[in-house]
Structure 1
């Protein structure tokens, strides 16, 4: 009995420090390498993930039949809608972020690294999430490479009007490519009330227009 009190204190302290270690490891190891970004750029990127992780499911704001008919999030991602899980999904695919010239694109993916152009950091946080989601999908293999948009492709690039998709590799031939998954994400935001239905539909239609169906 004489040893019981000190022994209990020792175990409690060990448990506390062990818990802190696990918390530090789990919450920090997932983040990709941002060492090549400026401090301001790194803050913007982290703010993007913080915002994404705040988007969790709540009461659905649309009728259930409409939701069941159009929701594709779980079939694409293999887990129910969750900003926290989606953040991990992105960061498990993108190992490094860099900054540089991206030509006619806002961002570019290659071999686990995403090159972010100047335009990325002037986007609002929702559009930044869409860009990261889109680029992370490219990590899943050749099936998710872009195909050329038709020469008569009539739609504007909503994030940058100077970028013209027609005749360029800026469309998808599969429903669950970069544009399909961003559309599925936007649908969930509208369904759960994070976006009003008008904006959600506008954004959804813009993304899904890049999926070229035979």
Structure 2
């Protein structure tokens, strides 16, 4: 038949599709290209994702009405809280990791590639996950680009006090940008008891402070 693919090609496509589907639903991590990282850096990156994938929903530790009023996770990600699903969400957006100078930033995103600075590898595992989640949001288009923080912006960068956001492109003008989604994630960690409520609130407030309101 003129418009048909040879049978062996069709079988090859089917095999690739089946492998992809099984791989996606198997629960195994889907790490992107790490060829530009050394062995120690790759190990730290994998440990970050492994930690994230342990964070699954359990009994909510806060008042249910408070949770329902404040949760934003599902409305943003279109799936319920799940570290495994969130890991895949991030990795579907980041295609390559590299290491180098990032100036006044912990990491930088460009066209599917995340450049990780030296300070990234000194962070604790939660902060590394927050950085990866934040950078992955930039893959979703220019609507999620940062805007300049006000000159009188006095909030500290919780991951590196030497980085001063005031007057730099380190804030968001949309509620579901890089800082909004990390805040939503942190709220779930507090609600499910992965963080105590004091730490969760401090971290949440730090992230949400970068979302500029009109």
**TM-score clears 0.5:** yes
For the pair 1:66 / 2:66, whether they are aligned, the reply is yes
Matches within 5 A, 1:1-214: 22=22, 30-214=30-214
Task: Give structure 1 regions of 4+ aligned residues with deviation exceeding 4 angstroms.
Answer: 22-29
Write out per-residue CA displacement over residues 105-147 of structure 1, whole angstroms, 9 at most, x where no aligned residue.
0000000000000000000000000000000000000000000
Q: CA RMSD of the aligned region, Å? A: 1.9
> Equivalents in 2 of 1:129, 1:48: separation in Å?
6
Task: Tell me by how many angstroms 1:204 deviates.
Answer: 0.1
> Equivalents in 2 of 1:80, 1:24: separation in Å?
17
**Pair member with larger Rg:** 1
When normalised by structure 2's length, the TM-score is 0.88
Write out per-residue CA displacement over residues 9-67 of structure 1, whole angstroms, 9 at most, x where no aligned residue.
xxxxxxxxx99xx5599666821000110000000000000000000000000000110
Change (3 A) 1:83 1:28: closer
Change (3 A) 1:60 1:27: closer
8 A contact 2:48–2:129 mirrored in 1:
yes
- The unaligned stretches of length 5 or more in structure 2 are 1-17
When normalised by structure 1's length, the TM-score is 0.88
Change (3 A) 1:198 1:29: closer
> Equivalents in 1 of 2:170, 2:66: separation in Å?
29
